[in-house]
Every structure is written in C-alpha cells, then in structure tokens.
Amino acid sequence: MLDLQTPRGKVVGIGRIKVPRMPELGFNHDVPPLSFVVIGREDGCYVATCIHLQMDGYGDTIKDARENMVSDVYCYLQDLFAHAEDEAEAWDALYELSKSNPRSDLLWDKYHAIQFELAKKRVYTSSYNNSPIENQSCQKSDSDTKSLDAGRLDAGMYRSMIVKYEEMACPA
C-alpha cells in the first residue's frame, strides 16, 4: 500500500502545468512544464502545490485548488520576468526555487509513488506534448480586454494550463 501521507494531508493526485508563451500579454518565455501534487487536508479542503516553485493554491474542491495554484504561478512568473534586471536573473531565480529541499523531496517522493502506481495500471502521466497549449497562445477578445489588461487571465485560460491531472483511487 502506498504511503501518500504528508504533514499537510494525503496526496490525492498529481499533475503538470504548462504556462505558454503569450507575447500579446507581455509574457514571451518558454517555461518548462511544472509538476504539482494535490493534497486532501483533514478539514476537507485541498491544497495544490507546484513542486518546482513551491507555490500553493487552496480550495474547497480539487478543481478550485488547482486553478488557484495555476493563477498564482502565472502571476508570479509574469511579475518575476517583468521586474528582473534581465531575463537571465529571472531564469536563475527559477532554478534556485526548484532546488531540492526537505519539503520538495517529500512531495517528489509522493509524486513518483503515484506516477509509478498509475503506470502499473497503464495510466500514463507524461503526455504533456499532446496539449493544445503547446501549439497555440491565448488570444484575447474584446470581452477579455479588461481582465487581461489587469494582467489576469480568465478561469478558462488557467484551466487550459493544467496539461495533465490524475487522481489516485483511494480504498475506502
């Protein structure tokens, strides 16, 4: 039986996000896919954690937690690249964040436990290359202008950045 327990709760799923280049929004950087876990907390809420950037999103549902995390990741990346002295400084900051530490080591262990368990069941978790987000950038329409001008994307755009997500079937 898999040990998916963490100090924050039990890991219930894993996934990957891909933030696309969006030059029309001022974000023209090809950030590699980022992995995340979703943890079910004892209070019934969820936390989605981007392991690479160690950023959390919270929600009453898994979907809400994932979208909150993606929103925070996107806003962080946009802000990081916009305010860095140069692009190299931003990339160096991302590398520093992604370095191994006790918290990320634990989350990677749980991520890999689920990944290999799913592979045993022939559920493949590495197919982010098939995502439409890889081949298209987000287009803004007149109705989106207000939210995009504020540097925020709508919920549908955040959802489209979640390339792959799989849940573990937990025995009762």
CB 17 within 8 A of CB 37: no
What single letter denotes the amino acid at residue 80?
L
Residue 100 CB coordination number (10 Å):
8
Pairing of strands 46-50, 34-40: antiparallel
What's the pLDDT score for residue 148? 39
Average pLDDT, the chain: 82
The 10s digit of each residue's pLDDT in 148-170 is: 344 556 666 666 676 767 677 65
CB 46 within 8 A of CB 59: yes
Average pLDDT of the segment spanning 9-26: 91
CA 56 and chain centroid, separation: 9
